[in-house]
A and B are shown apart, each in its own frame.
Chain A
Amino acid sequence: MNLKKYRKKSPWILHYNAGSCNGCDIEILACLAPKYDIERFGMINTGNPKQSDILLVTGPVTKRSRERLVEIYAQMPEPKVVISCGACASTGGVFRGMYNCEGGIDQYIPVDVYVCGCGCRPEQIIDGVVQALGILESKTRDIEQSLKLKNEAITEEGQTNRRNIAAEL
């Protein structure tokens, strides 16, 4: 049977803050709140990369948080999509070109949906997630790697060992 159509029915989200100003983070919290209750779409905010399908990243990648970002991305099992919430996560926004910022998370991991706005409204986040679900359905289960990944994922008898997959940058 075709299981693909169930992907968009239970997207479990993981939220990582790569050095944002909390503006978008509290909006993500507000999405969980009763007014915009994203559990309607079957979303759970799992704090656990290994069980989540959608990675919501906020903030321009600061130099100290980038390894964690790549690690978390590597720990998530495919199929997975990445949503960058807010101007600074998408392009660096007002922090573009500051000395400790990398200017957008898509310098490190492939981003599927860019949510604009500073800080992005919950409506915008929901729109972005809805678009991401369409992408999630069309994804395959091949390993996606972050853009600046140094060492390859080791594959031994068909199982992928991701212990040392994250890039040391």
Chain B
Amino acid sequence: MGKQYEIPVGAQHISLLEPLHFKFTTGNEKIIDTAASVYYVHRGIEKACCTKFKFRQVSFVVGRVCGLCSISHTTAYSQVAEKLVKIEIPRRAKYLRMLVIELDRIHSHLLCLSHVAENSGFEALFMKTMQYREAFMEMLEAVCGNRVQFDYSIVGGVSRDLKPETARMILTGLKKFRPQLQELFHIYQNNWTLSLKNKGTGVITRKDALRLNVVGPFARATGLETDVRSQTEDLLPWKEAGFRIITEQTGDVYARNMVRLREVENSMEMISNVIDGLPESPIIQETKSFPDGEAVVRLEAPRGELFYYAKGNKTQVLERLKIKAPTFSNISAMVEGFRNNEYGSVPAIIASYDPCLSCTAR
């Protein structure tokens, strides 16, 4: 078994949700070198957004950039478009956007955690996490009317209001979820075999995270305090909702799991705060003006910093729209993180990166 194997993972592989291709050079199943090719999903959305679609429609198109962070994409685009057409959206719309973003964060994190569990061979935990996640899918469906593609934020506000009975349903669901979250905490922390698989694998140090510009939970797991929510008070009132930065020190798979679980906890607090302090106001600010000038927006998607650059030219159609997805910044760190790991733990590491290649490739 001394000879070196070239192990291709992807484009179709059971432990991958999306087509990405890794080529591992391994000796004795220990990874020596890695090569990645990620642009399987390139569809040309940026081009279409500045030729084919009017700027009102674009907010639905960018939602289809990624099904997991669709609300983050639509919200970021709506914010940048609102900067271009120079309108201020009502407070209630801001709160509702925050509500859906946090719900989406919870479901995305739970999905990632369950995927980590399955890829480390713990099928029962995968099933358990997915089972708990379904509650949040139902909440999202009740709020937005669809399970994955929310189309909730539109230019000028949000598309539908929050019904009181829906709010009640969400609060009861959160109450029901709290003990379940503690159970998940217990398993992810204390299960011995899982810790064998997760502790000390796929390590990225804080220095590497800074050097390679890592974002999101991936970076926070290394102890790097970077979270756009703490920097963009002007767009959405995160601090009022009770947001706090969550970091872990050891940048391994286990730390990423912990960051995600604790962020889920924090998001639950934020959701209940948002629902309690929901201000009364119209939910949409209509406008007749056309986008002009250029603007940038940063937003914290479940996977990290989402960056939108838009340039308008006083017509229905934008001049240029640039989307920078979270995973885009993490690719170089992803390749680094595999070095000197067992091939056996590769699927778990990939899942713990929580790669979103449809965001990256667009």
Q: Do chains A and B touch in the complex (CB under 8 A)?
A: yes
Residues of A within 8 A of B (CB): 14, 16-27, 29-30, 32-35, 45-49, 59-60, 62-65, 68, 72, 88, 93-95, 97-101, 118-119, 121
A22 touches B68 (CB 8 A): yes
Which residues of chain B come closer than 8 Å to A48, judged between CB atoms?
14
A119 touches B13 (CB 8 A): no
Which residues of chain B come closer than 8 Å to A47, judged between CB atoms?
12-15
B42 touches A64 (CB 8 A): yes
9 A-B interface contacts by CB (under 8 A): A14-B12, A22-B68, A23-B70, A47-B13, A47-B15, A62-B40, A63-B42, A118-B64, A121-B147
Q: How far is the CB of B64 from chain A (nearest CB, A)?
A: 5
B44 touches A100 (CB 8 A): yes
Residues of B within 8 A of A (CB): 11-19, 39-45, 47-48, 52, 60-61, 64-68, 70, 111, 115, 127, 130-131, 133-134, 137, 146-149, 356, 358, 361
B19 touches A68 (CB 8 A): yes
For A24, the closest partner residue in chain B by CB is B67
Partner of B47 from the list A60, A93, A99 (CB cut-off 8 Å) is A99
Enumerate the 9 nearest inter-chain pairs by beta-carbon distance, A residue then B residue, closest first: A47-B14, A23-B67, A33-B130, A23-B148, A119-B148, A22-B67, A21-B67, A100-B44, A19-B41
Which residues of chain A come closer than 8 Å to B17, judged between CB atoms?
17, 22, 25-26, 29
For A63, the closest partner residue in chain B by CB is B42
In whole angstroms, how far apart are the Cα atoms of A59 and B17 in the complex? 12
Partner of B130 from the list A25, A34, A63 (CB cut-off 8 Å) is A34
For A21, the closest partner residue in chain B by CB is B67
B68 touches A19 (CB 8 A): no
Known: A22-B68, A33-B134, A119-B67. A98 touches B43 (CB 8 A): yes
Known: A101-B43, A101-B44. A21 touches B358 (CB 8 A): yes
Which residues of chain A come closer than 8 Å to B60, judged between CB atoms?
94
B358 touches A19 (CB 8 A): yes
B12 touches A72 (CB 8 A): yes
Q: How far is the CB of B187 from chain A (nearest CB, A)?
A: 16
For A67, the closest partner residue in chain B by CB is B11
Extra 16 A-B pairs, beta carbons < 8 Å, given A20-B18, A23-B67: A16-B19, A17-B17, A19-B41, A21-B358, A23-B68, A26-B67, A26-B68, A27-B148, A47-B13, A47-B14, A48-B14, A62-B40, A62-B42, A64-B39, A68-B12, A98-B48
Known: A46-B14, A121-B147. A26 touches B111 (CB 8 A): yes
In whole angstroms, how far apart are the Cα atoms of A99 and B327 in the complex? 23
Partner of B131 from the list A20, A25, A33 (CB cut-off 8 Å) is A33
A64 touches B67 (CB 8 A): no
Known: A26-B148, A98-B44, A100-B43. A88 touches B19 (CB 8 A): no
B44 touches A99 (CB 8 A): yes
B130 touches A62 (CB 8 A): no
Q: How far is the CB of A30 from chain B (nearest CB, A)?
A: 7
Which residues of chain B come closer than 8 Å to A32, judged between CB atoms?
130
In whole angstroms, how far apart are the Cα atoms of A20 and B19 in the complex? 9
In whole angstroms, how far apart are the Cα atoms of A68 and B137 in the complex? 31
In whole angstroms, how far apart are the Cα atoms of A17 and B17 in the complex? 7
Which residues of chain A come closer than 8 Å to B65, judged between CB atoms?
21
In whole angstroms, how far apart are the Cα atoms of A76 and B31 in the complex? 31
In whole angstroms, how far apart are the Cα atoms of A14 and B115 in the complex? 17
Which of A21, A97, A118 has the most chain B CB within a 10 Å cutoff? A21
B40 touches A33 (CB 8 A): no
Which residues of chain A come closer than 8 Å to B70, judged between CB atoms?
21, 23
B44 touches A94 (CB 8 A): no
B43 touches A64 (CB 8 A): no
Q: How far is the CB of A62 from chain B (nearest CB, A)?
A: 6
Which residues of chain B come closer than 8 Å to A97, judged between CB atoms?
48, 52
Which residues of chain B come closer than 8 Å to A23, judged between CB atoms?
64, 67-68, 70, 148-149
A65 touches B134 (CB 8 A): no
For B57, the closest partner residue in chain A by CB is A94
Which residues of chain B come closer than 8 Å to A100, judged between CB atoms?
42-44
In whole angstroms, how far apart are the Cα atoms of A101 and B287 in the complex? 33
In whole angstroms, how far apart are the Cα atoms of A46 and B15 in the complex? 11
Which of A26, A30, A95 has the most chain B CB within a 10 Å cutoff? A26
In whole angstroms, how far apart are the Cα atoms of A121 and B19 in the complex? 22
A65 touches B11 (CB 8 A): yes
